[in-house]
Chains A and B, each alone.
Chain A
């Protein structure tokens, strides 16, 4: 469990969450990036950029 950096609500991580994975805050809907696993640290996810893709 950790805190949304946008709204402060509790965010629960699933068991196999990876650093670099994007999570949604179920309270405010913000896209968050997991930047540390132990202990969990979240940051705002980067915005989509024009050259992103496959």
Chain B
């Protein structure tokens, strides 16, 4: 198949994918989105004859627009623009999960410091304030007191981009020092790991330790539901362990659409790039069937 890779930086994740695709004899076209102009009518020439395009843009903004243009040109793209749109924004992500009945942390969105403070006080301390767009644990705040809340809200309102004036306030989930990352293709888990840290943030990008994790039936079901809720695709579903008894054992806090998997590939037994390419082959074959 002819595969286009949209990128602006080649990380280890992209190298793993590129190696797997080339080893299988697929034609790979690397598409640096920084070099392109996306017109309204005709696709840039580099998109000609591609069976599928994989969006691996590091910048969320580029991801959103580039996938939109791919679809406008009739070029199949994973993930879809709809999935990217939903996953890129924490508000849309939370609404999609809650709307699909997937357990997700209690969340309020407020547009002024005063109304955000009311949310914070109603959640109690600690609670969490997150930017609506962002990754790798950046600009996440665990708020332990009213004075801390006042300072953070003031800073965000005064210094931040307008998106930082959309205050995303969330309950603090007292997870057991770890969360769970699942990489899934259209809801089918490829591999899972726990990310453990003494810090309240357990992102791999923050240096959390990783270890393979065996998903139980409930977790698998939630991964499928969460994937469906955001439109499916190649996704990183993040869960935290909670509750137990009659309560759900997990809560899904977010779904990532340009999922990084190098840490997962090292931690888990699965050959992640191989399974991702298996899935891409089925996507490309399905497209060829539709065209024929």
Contact = CB atoms under 8 A, between A and B. Distances in A.
Tell me whether A and B are bound partners: yes
Interface of A: 16, 18-22, 33, 46, 49-54
Given A18-B15, A19-B30, A20-B30, A51 B10 contact: no
B128 interface: no
Interface string B104-145: 000000000000000000000000000001111010000000
Top-7 shortest CB links A-B: A53-B135, A20-B10, A51-B60, A21-B10, A18-B10, A54-B256, A54-B260
Contacts of B258: 53-54
Given A46-B8, A52-B135, 7 more contacts: A18-B14, A18-B30, A20-B9, A21-B15, A22-B9, A22-B10, A53-B138
A19 B136 contact: no
18 contacts: A16-B19, A19-B10, A20-B7, A20-B14, A20-B32, A21-B15, A22-B9, A50-B134, A51-B133, A52-B58, A52-B60, A52-B136, A53-B134, A53-B135, A53-B205, A54-B136, A54-B256, A54-B257
Interface in B201-247: 205, 236
Interface of B: 7-10, 14-15, 18-19, 30, 32, 58-61, 133-136, 138, 161, 205, 236, 256-260
